[in-house]
Structure 1
Amino acid sequence: MAENSFDVVAETDRQEVDNAINQAAKEVGQRFDFKGANAEIAWSGDGIAITTNSEDRVDAALDVLKDKLVKRKVSLKSLDHDRPQPAAKGTYRLDIGLVEGIPQDKAKAMVKQIKASKLKVTPSIQGDQLRISSKSKDALQECQTLLRNNDQDLPIKFTNYN
């Protein structure tokens, strides 16, 4: 009997994020409560930067961005950020990273959880993703359900189903 497998990856659709950033920047530029706040939402390298003149306006702009991401079906688990920091000329800045790949510690925890479930599957860590294989498609589906219920706060997706 042939082996069936799928990959577990943590990735973000950058085009959808780009569209959400553009929509959020446009809304922030038009809203009355952002008048005079010099609010800006834009790409900053591989992440997103939100800059305004006060800390509460940064939080409000972040809420607008999150709303646009949700409408575009991008998981908020893919955002990695701390608190807004003071920046140049009396402004505040929030740098937001995007989660790409499964970190080793979380991958090991997922493998440990799969093995503890006694499912007839074979998990293996391959770089920043997991490959789950089994002879039974039903076992693979049970494994997907298990991983969805405990996703380690990652935007996991299942790809490469063979």
Structure 2
Amino acid sequence: MASDSSFDIVSKIDRQEAENALNQARKEVEQRYDFKGTGASIEWSGDSVLIKANSEERAKAVLDVFQSKVIKRGISLKSLDSADPVASGKEYRIVTTLKEGISSEDAKKVSKLIRDEGPKSVKSQIQGDELRVQSKSRDDLQEVQRMLKAADLDVDLQFINYR
């Protein structure tokens, strides 16, 4: 009797890579000539990243530097959630949060996509901030992975615990 095969769908960020990307962005901002004297900075603020500059354009440029470093470190931009620049006094701030886990809304979208477009033998269930996908056929599970990679979702998905 064949047992069910399964894998989990998660959305996680390697914290060390995020830390490295922030440090690289900070070094570049400190060294670049066009950021001299603009009060441009980037730093951790709890679990989010705080970007400061004296103009909206400079703040967006610092965000662009950070995003390029994040991409080079292998983190998807779908994992970043950047707010619009906010003026506080003479300073503009952008707060960028790192999204981890799959929200229940996104989990329902992924589950519906698997149910509607995936092979019929595949079952998915939501378990907190991740999804478990099961099937008797490993080929069907691989088909689901291909389908989810091709789908344009708002979440960066990883597939783990393939059994």
CA distance in 1, matches of 2:68, 2:112: 35
Shift of 1:82: 2.0
3-state DSSP of counterpart to 1:50? strand
Q: Secondary structure at the match of 2:19?
A: helix
Residue of structure 1 equivalent to 2:8: 7
Q: Distance in 2 between matches of 1:27 and 1:81?
A: 20
Gaps of at least 5 residues in structure 1 are: none
CA distance in 1 between partners of 2:35 and 2:151 (Å): 38
1:12·1:155 contact (CA, 8 Å) conserved in 2?
A: no
Classify 1:24/1:103 alpha carbon distance in 2 versus 1 (closer, same or farther; 3 Å).
Answer: same
Residues 8, 118 of structure 1: alpha-carbon distance in 2 compared, 3 angstrom cutoff: closer
Identity across the alignment (%): 48
Q: CA deviation at 1:118?
A: 4.6
What is the count of residue pairs matched by the alignment? Answer: 161
Runs of 4+ in 1 over 4 A off after TM superposition: none
Question: TM-score, structure 1 length as denominator?
Answer: 0.96
Matched, 1:107 2:114: no
Note the residue ranges of structure 2 that are not aligned, 5 or more in a row. Answer: none
Q: Are the counterparts in 1 of residues 118 and 143 from structure 2 also a CA contact under 8 Å?
A: no
Matches of 1:33 and 1:118 in 2, distance apart? 50
Asked if the contact 1:111/1:123 (under 8 Å) is kept, the reply is yes
1:141 aligned partner: 142
**Could you tell me the TM-score, scaled by structure 2's length?**
0.95
2:123 aligns with 122
Backbone CA RMSD of aligned residues: 1.0
